[in-house]
Amino acid sequence: MKNILFLFFLISSVIMTQGQTEGPLENIVITSNKKKTTVHTNENGNLEVNVSPKDVLKFKTNGRVLYSDLGAKGDGKTDDMDAIAAAHAFANLHGLAVKADEGATYYIGGKERTAVIRTDTDFGTAAFIIDDTEVQNRNGSVFLVNSNLQPFSPEGISTLRRNQKKIDVALPGTCLVTVTNADIKRYIRFGPNQNNGSSQTDIFIADKNGQVDMNAPIIWDFDKITDITALPIDETTLTITGGRFTTIANRAESKYTYYSRNFLVRRSNVVVDGLEHRVTGEGDHGAPYGGFLNIRDCSYVTVKNTTLTGHKTYQTIGSAGVPVSMGSYDLSVNRALNVSFVNCSQTNDIDDRTYWGILGSNFGKNLLYDHCTFSRFDAHMGVANATIRNSTLGHMGINAIGVGVFTVENSTIRGRSLINLRSDYGSTWQGEFVIRDCIFVPSGGIPASASLIGGSNSGQHDFGYTCYMPERITIENLHIDDSNHPDDYQGPAIFANFNPQMTDDSYQEEFPYVRTREVILRNVTTASGKDLRLSDNPFMFKDVKIVRE
């Protein structure tokens, strides 16, 4: 018995001494010696944290740690990043909540340090100044919300099929599964930012018996799998509340060197509530941002009551050797499922074209805007199922490619099109659109010839997949506010001119573009009084069945 007790205390001592050992982002050693509580950086740049036994007892009794408990000044001048990271590391070790000091302003300089959040955190009304004018690592997240659970590579899965309902593997619990076939390239981009595509990737949820959640189905056939990873999904919800963050923008050269000094969420079952992010110091040049609030490799994330800021648009030379505007985001979703934005908005005018659209996303499934006022919704490399409701979208509107059902309801859209199918990825949507109870203000009221569905596809570029238009488009109770229109305006079109060269049967598509089969119209009205027409290119859409009810 004595030996067992000795072993128990020895193991406990090692855990306390070694502290956080989950990954290189933290590099923190935690001890509990009979000295005062201190935080300092050793010669290797790692944090060494000593929490006195008296403070350990106090923090555990309180059930939380304040940033000031680990030495944060909160005066807006002293760099408090080490103290912030130390507070979270200690809280993670003991399962304690973290709370910012009310009224504090925490300055975060350019040092490479990430605060890892694994417990509930209340930023409250505290302010955080993130200075990006001189940084050691532009890719270093400031905050990382992640899991204690570790990813692993399940064995025995060599192929997968689109819409497969079950995988033949036993899992420790419900997992987020990411699959890649590096031998197949999809999303081979066309245009000024052309590229050679991305490896075929899919992400889905499977329970302990291998049953796939068919609300976010597998969308590709995998004849070969070059990489597969499963990450167990946390059953408890982690909550992040409050916080007023301000980024002092970088002053780097205007080229595609994205900055990721961000708030990165890589844990499932997370709620972000009441966060604010603003941007200052943008000049006549700067590198773009990959998203301050960045959600990736996770599922079941809700962002609500949150205010973000669009970034200034800068120019550079794209991969095709011509000038391009660089996408710069305050909100990013990548390889993430079931992500909702509820009652969110942005600080700048959603119709101000000097600022880029606020969201960029890739490989997402089941994305939702509800009661949001944003400049844009965007899905670059595909989304499977998306919903926009009770929302207003500004000058960049809705841009998407993907599969499944895209629903827009009870919303006002102020972009060039009601929905724009991104031409750089083939203007493809394999599924259907449902649009109901909406108002469309073409180009935000600037004189323009309106079209509901925008995009283009010449049929001459291989995007790595067959390109589709939505098989069925249902439009119900839509009012088109085209009161401000050009003199030669003929009325709004259902479809833009997707291929001006296709005017008769002599045009041959090397990679045929599958057109819409049916459009159902119910109560579509216009402010101009002009009727809704098919397209400026009626030949291309001559086989589309138009049903007016």
The two structure tokens encoding residue 88: 């979270």
Which tokens sit at 316? 């550079």
Task: Give the model's confidence band at 167: pLDDT under 50 very low, under 70 low, under 90 confident, else very high.
Answer: very high
- SS3 track for 413-478: ECCCEEEEECHHHCCCEEEEEEEEEEEECHHHHCCCCCEEEECCCCCCCCCCCCCECCCEEEEEEE
pLDDT for res 20: 33
CA distance 333 to 336: 6
pLDDT of residue 7: 33
How does pLDDT run across 323-365, given as a tens digit for each residue?
A: 999 999 999 999 999 999 999 999 999 999 999 999 999 999 9
Asked whether 94 and 123 are in contact (CB, 8 A), the reply is no
pLDDT tens track for 100-139? 999 999 999 999 999 999 999 999 999 999 999 999 999 9
Reported as a single tens digit per residue, the pLDDT across 75-100 is 999 999 999 999 999 999 999 999 99
Summarize pLDDT for 404-454 with one digit per residue, the tens: 999 999 999 999 999 999 999 999 999 999 999 999 999 999 998 889 999
Helix and strand element counts for the chain (H, E): 3, 37
287: its two tokens:
């590198």
Contact (Cβ atoms closer than 8 angstroms) between residue 355 and residue 325: no
Mean pLDDT of 302-309: 98
**CB-neighbour burial class of residue 89 (10 A; exposed 0-12, middle 13-18, buried 19+):** buried
Say how far apart CA 509 and CA 316 lie, in whole Å. Answer: 32
Query: Residue 226, CB half-sphere, CA atoms under 13 Å: how many?
Result: 9
**Cβ atoms within 10 Å, residue 517:** 14
Q: What is the mean pLDDT of the segment spanning 371-399? A: 97
State the pLDDT confidence band at 1, using cuts at 50, 70 and 90: very low
Sketch the domain layout of the chain as residue ranges.
Answer: 16-131, 132-145+236-400, 149-233, 403-549
pLDDT at 12 over 70: no
Q: Which of 346, 112, 131, 106 is nearest to 249 (CA)?
A: 131
Amino acid at 544: V
Structure tokens at 260: 């990721």
Give per-residue pLDDT as tens, 450-492: 899 999 999 999 999 999 999 999 999 999 999 988 888 999 9
Rounded distance between C-alpha atoms, residue 536 and residue 490, angstroms: 10
Nearest partner of 55 among 42, 40, 66, judged by Cα: 66
How many other CB atoms are found less than 10 A from the CB of residue 5? 9
